[in-house]
Structure 1
């Protein structure tokens, strides 16, 4: 009886664990370079959201009103990761 439970139960448990681990390891990193990202600019010693979307496709810097646009804000006084765009 015990071997019967093990033989049928183990594959089912392995399958359920594989599904659970697949969802637990979901990545939140931008994988597609063409996806638009809302940027931030450094203005008056504070990072503020910029109404410009950049997509990291080329080497052309993404700017808004003459300021470099950054991908994320680490805190309210530090903008990091400069963004680029394809010029369109």
Structure 2
């Protein structure tokens, strides 16, 4: 399984450990920072992950809505950080 985690680096590290424990072996960090530059590669990666995890600080990413819309169009679950436990079926 794979996941894209949108968060700060500190939050990513703690979430990555939890996800690895559930068998998510391919984990991508989308660093949530305030920037005007749109990173197309992040949006292009969405179709290739099984989950999109939103860290508590994901709202700092100005193009977060575009990532979430792409995930919803492709029926990829978008989970808040608090629901990581729900990732494992």
User: TM over 0.5, yes or no?
Assistant: no
Name the TM-score, length of structure 2 as normaliser.
Answer: 0.23
Which has the larger share of strand? 1
Larger helix fraction of residues: 2
Higher normalized contact order (CA 8 Å, seq sep 6+, divided by chain length): 2
- TM-score, scaled to structure 1: 0.23
Larger Rg: 1
